[in-house]
Every structure is written in structure tokens, then in C-alpha cells.
Amino acid sequence: MSNLLKNTSLSVNTADKIISDTLHKCDDGELYLEDTKFETVTLDDNKIKSSDYNTDTGYGFRAVTDDVIAYSHSNEISEESLKKSSENLKSTLKSKSGTYNSSIKKTNQKFYKDTDPIETKSLDSKIELLNLMNDYSRSKDASVKQVSASFIGEKKSIEILRSGGELLQDTRPLVRINISMMVEKDGRKETAVFGVGGRQSYDEYLKDDSWKKLCDEAFRIATTNLKSKPSPAGEMKVVLGPGWPAILIHEAIGHGLEGDFNRKKTSAFHNLVGQRVASEGVTIIDDGTLDNRRGSLNIDDEGTPTEKTVLIENGILKNFMQDRLNARLMNTKSTGNGRRENYKHIVLPRMRNTIMLNGNHTQEEMINSVNKGIFAVSFGGGQVDITSGKFVFNCTEAYEIIDGKIGAPLKGATLIGDGPSSLKEVLMVGNDMMLDPGIGTCGKAGQGVPVGVGQPSLLIDNMTVGGTEL
């Protein structure tokens, strides 16, 4: 029973008719309906800067034949609008003919509750807590000159209506609590950002005054950076800390293993299935099934149940991440990685929670083994060129390693590497796997989707560090 058509002038029967009429000669397609509620409450510069509430409702109508995608979306859910979209799709695909594949696996799997984070915590109590975070942060030390804190919450309901009357539904809560801080001492300024989140109500992240830990962590990073010195430039050994630094894997390896780039043969990995792409002991999965994680989904945005997909097993490339279109064209099955930012966008194969599994080394062993290198604990963000395989990321917390010991903190260095070769340079995999705090958003083709990452500590033999000290 469709909930999202209930308050519109479009009846389920009429919608079904238009869908079947449009898609019967196509290979695939669906009507995707979405209703999103979104809020941000922000404190900045000692004041509540905004309390914004947004609702967005709309549909995206997709028809796919062969490798051609026709897409039309609108926020007017009506028979007239849908018919106009239908004509548009038909005209794009008029010279093509396909066979509709109606099989889609059903699931009852649930990795998060059907909760509405915006309504389960009052605006009053959000404002009160933001003020507490501000006061607490500023009282820590006179060097704290600026504090921003925010609650960002969302409830997204989606429905997928396929030709033949099949209906798939999901309701996805998502929250994020953020704090950023600027400290100033002796004429130097530094900032730090810290946050936490996932697919649960805010209060799950606020038990036992744990918001204080967010403030403490932002303060720790910012004050550490006050003492930072210029980063060296050149090739050296790099130890990555556990958790969030796994965006290295996301950028260096993850994007290159998405189905579209491999079907189109523009990924540096497209002909490497079954071959060694990482050192022995390196196993990487993409998992949509972790409870309450930011990158988890019950079903993907095409209705395929998500799963735990093994990408690299003990160094050997096993699988790509697939949506329905790329899977069909590559004669394989969708892995439940078909995602879109919202109804305004087409589906692309995207990561969920991308994780490197544990090895058997300790972080201490890694650091002790390095004569000259850097220890990277946290990153701001990264980017990759899929075709050449080159990727970068910016350190927000890093230290020099000298003679097996952690030394001074280093100023914002950039690390650059080559995706296909970097994981072959992994010398040790740690035994301290950690997931990130739930803050990642991945951008691709102008679409942002929430993702997770995780990894143990890693020792990489050789990466280029971009600093100012020669």
C-alpha cells in the first residue's frame, strides 16, 4: 500500500497504468517516490544562528533500455505531470526495445528503526543542548575563541513502484551532531571539527553527557594543532590511525571498484578481477547491513536488499559494487549498491560502509618500525581521479615519526598516492579495527550520499607527503 501517493491527486491505479505503459518495452525502470523532512539547528558565535525546517516531496521516473537511461523528475505528483514525464522517457528511448526484468529480491531485513529524529527531540531541548555545548567548550580554556555546534536531522521515506504493480518501501532516519572550534594563542589560530551520527534518534548519541566528549575531542585536536610545525615534503612511510582514515580506502580503492567505471573501462581496476591489487592480509568489504550506521540501508534506491560485498580478499580483487544497470550489462547481479542523493538524481553504484578488516599487528609495532615518516590520525577530506588512479587527502591531525617514536604535530599536510599501487605498499595491517564516528558524505557526479568507513591501523611503505619543508 503506497503511503506517499495518499495525499496526492494521483491514484495508485493510474500510476501503475502509466508505469506499465511506459516501461513494458524497456529493460528496467521504476517510479521512485520520496518524502524527506530535514532540519538544521545551528549555534554559532554564541547565538542560535538558524532553526530551519525543510520538506521535499517528489518523484523520479526512470526508464532504462540497453545502456541508455531516460529520467524525468518533478515535485508535482499528479497524473498530468507523470504523463508528461512518461512522454519524455518514451521519446528518448523510441528507437530501442528491451525486455523488462521484473525480478527483484524481497527482504524483511531491518538495520535501523522507523523513527523520526526531528520529532523525537523538541526544538527547545536541542537549543538548550547547543547552548550547553557552547558554554562548556568556551569554559575549557581562554584560547577558545569561536564555537559552532549543530543538530542536523532527517527522515526520508522512499517508495519504489515497478512495472507490474510491485511496491518496495523504506524509511530512513539520519542524524548528525557537529561541533567546530577555533582556538587562538600567541597569534596563532587553529580549528578543529568533530561530530557523530548515524541512523538513530539524537538521544542515542547523547547518553551520559557524551556530548562533552565531542567538545573535548574538538578542543584536543585544535590545541594540538596550535603546536604544529610545517610538514615535510617528499616520499616517506606513513602510519594511518584506525577508523576515519579509512577514507584512504574509500578514495584509493573504493571508487575505482564501482561498477559504472569498470563497465565503461575507465577505471584503473577494470581488468584486474582475480589479480593481486593489495598486499597479502588486506581484506576489504563494502557492507550495507551494519546496525544504525550512516552508510547502511535496508534496501538500496532501486529496491535491492543490501548485503556485505567482499571487494578484496587477502589482496585479490573479487568483486565490483553494482547497481542493476551496470550488473545487467556486465552479466552479474546487483550488490545493492544502487544509490541516489534524492529523487532529483539518477541511480549510480555507490559505496555504503567500506571497511578494511583486522590483521594481526599492533600500532606500536608499526610506529617503532619507522625511522622517518608521518603518523596520520585524522583527515579532512579526499578526492580521486578514477582514470589515472591518483588520490589525495588532507590531514587534520598528524605527527612526525622519528626513530620509531611519535614526535611533533604537523601542519595540514596533503597525502597523494596512486590507487592501484598504494595498497600493494601496505606493510602491516593492525588488529584495532574501528568504524568512523558517522560523519562521512561521499560526492560523485554532483550527488552526495551518506557513507561509512572503517579500518585498523595501517603501515604504508611509501606515500608522497605535501608539505612546505624540503
Partner 1 sequence: MIKENDYLNTIADQCLSKAKKLGSTEASVFVVNSVSENVNIRNRKLDGSTRSENLGITLTTYIGKKKSSISSSNLNEKNLDNLINRCVESTKITPEDELNSLADKELYFNGDKNLDLYDETILENKQKIDYINEAEEEAFSKKDIVNTNGSGFSQNKSNFVLANSNGFSDGYKTSQFTAYCEVVSKNNGSMERDYEYSSKRFYDDILKPKDLGAKAAELALQKLNPKKIKSEKLNIIFDKRIAKSFLSAFSSAISSSAIARGTTFLKDKLNKKIFNDKINIQDKGDIKKANGSRYFDSEGVKIKPLDLVKNGDLKDFLIDTYNGKKIKLQSNGRSSGSTNLYFLNGSVSFKELLCSGKRILYVNETIGRGSNLITGDYSVGASGLMIENGEFSYPVSEITIAGNLNDIFKNISLANDLEFNYSTNSPTMLVEGMIVGGK
Q: Contacts with partner 1 in 202-241 (CB under 8 A)? A: 231, 233-235
User: Within positions 42 to 61, which residues make up the interface with partner 1, using CB under 8 A?
Assistant: 44-45, 47-58
Q: CB 264 → partner 1: shortest distance, Å?
A: 7
Question: What residue has cell string 557526479?
Answer: 445
CB 383 within 8 A of CB 368: no
- Tell me phi and psi for residue 21, to 5 degrees: -60, -35
Among 174, 218, 246, 268, binds partner 1 (CB under 8 A): 268
Q: Binding segment for partner 1 among 63-71, 275-283, 314-322, 353-361 (CB under 8 A)?
A: 63-71
Beta carbon nearer to partner 1, 105 or 264: 264
Q: CB 310 → partner 1: shortest distance, Å?
A: 26
Q: Is 1 in the site for partner 1 (CB under 8 A)?
A: no
User: In whole angstroms, what is the distance from residue 22 CA to residue 62 CA?
Assistant: 9
Q: Is 466 in the site for partner 1 (CB under 8 A)?
A: yes
Q: CB 189 → partner 1: shortest distance, Å?
A: 5
First and final CA of the chain: distance in angstroms?
65
C-alpha cell, 36: 524527506
Q: Binding segment for partner 1 among 39-47, 159-167, 198-206, 313-321 (CB under 8 A)?
A: 39-47
Q: Is 346 in the site for partner 1 (CB under 8 A)?
A: yes
User: In whole angstroms, what is the distance from residue 412 CA to residue 235 CA?
Assistant: 16
CB 192 within 8 A of CB 225: yes
Q: Binding segment for partner 1 among 162-170, 272-280, 353-361, 405-413 (CB under 8 A)?
A: 405-413
Dihedral of alpha carbons 125, 126, 128, 133, sign:
positive
Beta carbon nearer to partner 1, 44 or 204: 44
Among 182, 206, 273, 329, binds partner 1 (CB under 8 A): 182
CB 273 within 8 A of CB 318: yes
Stretch (H or E) spanning 214: helix 211-226
Residue type, 160: I
User: In whole angstroms, what is the distance from residue 357 CA to residue 281 CA?
Assistant: 9
User: Within positions 415 to 444, which residues make up the interface with partner 1, using CB under 8 A?
Assistant: 416-418
CB 400 within 8 A of CB 407: yes
Q: CB 84 → partner 1: shortest distance, Å?
A: 9
Q: Is 271 in the site for partner 1 (CB under 8 A)?
A: no
User: Within positions 279 to 318, which residues make up the interface with partner 1, using CB under 8 A?
Assistant: none
Q: Binding segment for partner 1 among 75-83, 108-116, 193-201, 296-304 (CB under 8 A)?
A: 75-83
Beta carbon nearer to partner 1, 276 or 411: 411
CB 451 within 8 A of CB 441: yes
HSE, side-chain direction, 13 A CA sphere, residue 292 = 14
Q: CB 148 → partner 1: shortest distance, Å?
A: 8
Q: Is 91 in the site for partner 1 (CB under 8 A)?
A: yes
Q: CB 234 → partner 1: shortest distance, Å?
A: 4
Q: CB 75 → partner 1: shortest distance, Å?
A: 4
User: Within positions 377 to 396, which residues make up the interface with partner 1, using CB under 8 A?
Assistant: 380-388, 390-394
CB 353 within 8 A of CB 295: yes
Site residue total, partner 1 (CB under 8 A): 78
Residue 431, helix vs strand vs coil: coil
CB 451 within 8 A of CB 413: no
Q: Is 69 in the site for partner 1 (CB under 8 A)?
A: yes
Q: Is 4 in the site for partner 1 (CB under 8 A)?
A: no
User: In whole angstroms, what is the distance from residue 249 CA to residue 357 CA?
Assistant: 12
CA distances from 337 to 10, 90, 286, 289, 410 (A): 30, 27, 9, 12, 37
Q: Is 71 in the site for partner 1 (CB under 8 A)?
A: yes
